[in-house]
């Protein structure tokens, strides 16, 4: 539309494009686009879109600079920019700044809407200020001006949970149940997670039994239930939920198995985890993440040889730029292989990494050590490092010198 000039773009169009550029290309591209917009088109909507970008990036200083620019230009036309900035302060725990913004809103005649109040309440929860949280909650419940939804009670439930007021937290969760569209999976997932967080297994099972049959998208729901029961140390219950899912699934989703594997690995039940995977992969191709979970489990138990075996299996089925996470797994496996002098496997792992994205200097240094350990020439590695933009530094020289001495 912009390039072919079929339409005259309004400030709203430009604001939407700015938001989309940020989502697709990142903040630098969004800032460059904003700077190219002519000043006569830079209305409150466009500045508001830029402010939103900074809030989403959690860039407090840049967000404050934009807000100050909007004040000086007199383009603040609603509570919208205040709400974004209050949201940012809520996440950063800067309650004092929120109070100052609210006072400014009152002076300028911008009413506090549902978003303003909800963000203020979230800020009080972040600061463990339950008195402030309750004040906002009571004000919203008592006033017809505000829309009181289930999300508000979820914030209150989290607040009470944070300070150990479990009975009050359960009361808020009950209010949530009355208002939530529980026949929609995302909201039910959320409620299950909250009950697990406060250790209420009976309530967790009650909600599951009451609302589960109404849900169509079952796989992710089973994922949440398995994780919730594992969090409550009910591994047997988690296994039963998995078996229930497995007995009726029409398409095998390894994400469900992955949740059970995580629980097994955290409890040191690695043989049980590997047996579950062996059974599941009969006639199926698992996700790379499935083998990666086992690799992490073995690494944490210091069984690095098994971790390497699982990492190799993960690499064999990986798709589209997948890499092991976190990098500690790769480092542990590479160090083990370097110590053994297993250059071929080291080379395989590094080639895999190179195909899925850029290598780091640290990875190259481990490859150097493996070549030196195997008494192979390192010139190939050094040439590849240079091609990828890594000059020989002090650490590189030290590795070469130590290996040749």
DSSP state of 359: -
d(CA 290, CA 288): 5
Q: Of 286-290, 361-365, 399-403, where does mean pLDDT reach its minimum? A: 399-403
The pLDDT tens digits for 354-377 are 776 677 888 888 888 888 887 888
Whole-angstrom CA distances from 81 to 59, 173, 333 are: 15, 31, 49
Q: In this predicted structure, what is the pLDDT of residue 244?
A: 92
Fold of 252-330: 1.25.40
Torsion of CA 19, 22, 24, 28, to 10 degrees: 150
Q: Is 320 left (phi over 0), alpha (psi -120 to 50) or beta?
A: left
16-20 contacts: CB < 8 A, separation 24 or more? Answer: 16/49, 18/46, 18/49, 18/50, 18/53, 19/49, 19/52, 19/53
SS (H, E, C) 39-96: HHHCCHHHHHHHHHHHHHCCCHHHHHHHHHHHHHHCCCCCCHHHHHHHHHHHHHCCHH
- Of 208 and 257, the one with more pLDDT: 257
Mean pLDDT (whole number) for 133-143: 94
Share of the chain above pLDDT 90, in %: 52
Question: Helices 11-25 & 27-36, crossing angle to 10 degrees?
Answer: 150
CA-nearest of 103, 165, 100 to 131 is 165
Across 60-69, 192-201, 371-380, the highest mean pLDDT is recorded for: 60-69
Where is average pLDDT lowest: 21-35, 179-193, 260-274? 179-193
405 — pLDDT class (breaks 50, 70, 90):
very low
User: pTM of the predicted model, to two decimals?
Assistant: 0.73
- For 2, the 3-state DSSP assignment is coil
CA gap 181, 189 in Å, rounded: 11
Angle at CA of residue 126, ends 125 and 128, nearest 5° = 60
Element (H, E) at 185: helix 185-197
Domain range list for the chain: 252-330
For 141-144, the CB contacts below 8 A with 24+ separation are: none
Backbone angles phi and psi of 23, in degrees to 5: -65, -40
Q: Are 377 and 350 in contact (CB under 8 A)?
A: no
What average pLDDT does range 250-269 have in this prediction? 95
Nearest to 224 by CA among 250, 183, 192: 192
Are 187 and 156 a contacting pair, CB within 8 Å? no
Query: How many angstroms separate the CA atoms of 364 and 150, rounded?
Result: 51
Proportion of the chain above pLDDT 70, given as a percent: 95
Q: How many residues does the chain have?
A: 405
User: What is the pLDDT, as a whole number, of residue 36?
Assistant: 92
The stretch 44-70 carries a mean pLDDT of 94
pLDDT at 332 over 90: no
For the chain, report the end-to-end CA distance as a whole number of angstroms: 65
């Amino acid at each position: 539309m912009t390039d072919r000039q079929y339409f005259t773009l309004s400030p709203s169009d430009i604001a939407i494009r700015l938001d989309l550029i940020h989502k697709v290309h990142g903040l630098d591209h969004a800032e460059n686009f904003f700077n190219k917009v002519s000043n006569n088109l830079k209305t409150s909507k466009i500045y508001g879109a830029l402010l939103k970008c900074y809030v989403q990036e959690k860039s407090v200083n840049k967000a404050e600079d934009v807000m100050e620019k909007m004040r000086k230009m007199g383009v603040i036309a609603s509570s919208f920019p205040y709400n974004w900035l209050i949201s940012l302060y809520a996440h950063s725990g800067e309650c004092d700044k929120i109070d100052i913004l609210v006072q400014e809103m009152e002076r300028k005649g911008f009413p506090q809407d549902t978003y303003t109040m909800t963000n203020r309440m979230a800020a009080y929860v972040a600061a463990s200020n339950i008195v402030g949280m309750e004040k906002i909650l009571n004000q919203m419940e008592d006033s017809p001006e505000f829309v009181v939804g289930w999300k508000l009670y979820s914030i209150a439930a989290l607040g009470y949970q944070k300070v150990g007021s479990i009975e009050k937290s359960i009361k808020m969760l009950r209010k949530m149940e009355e208002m939530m569209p529980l026949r929609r999976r995302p909201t039910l997932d959320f409620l299950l997670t909250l009950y697990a967080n406060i250790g209420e297994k009976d309530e967790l099972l009650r909600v599951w039994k009451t609302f589960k049959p109404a849900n169509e998208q079952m796989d992710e729901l089973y994922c949440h239930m398995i994780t919730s029961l594992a969090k409550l140390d009910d591994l047997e219950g988690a296994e039963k939920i998995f078996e229930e899912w497995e007995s009726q699934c029409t398409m095998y989703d390894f994400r469900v198995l992955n949740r059970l594997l995580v629980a097994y690995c955290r409890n040191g039940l690695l043989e049980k985890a590997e047996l579950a995977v062996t059974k599941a992969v009969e006639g199926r191709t698992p996700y790379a993440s499935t083998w990666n979970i086992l690799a992490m489990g073995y690494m944490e138990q210091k069984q690095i040889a098994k971790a390497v075996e699982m990492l190799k299996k993960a690499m064999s089925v990986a798709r589209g730029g997948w890499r092991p996470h976190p990098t500690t797994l790769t480092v542990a496996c590479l160090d083990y292989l370097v110590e053994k002098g297993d250059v071929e496997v080291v080379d395989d792992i590094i080639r895999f990494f190179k195909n899925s994205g850029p290598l780091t200097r640290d990875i190259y240094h481990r490859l150097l050590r493996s070549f030196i350990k195997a008494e192979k020439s390192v010139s190939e590695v050094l040439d590849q490092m240079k091609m990828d933009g890594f000059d020989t530094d002090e650490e590189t020289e030290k590795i070469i010198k130590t290996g040749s001495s």
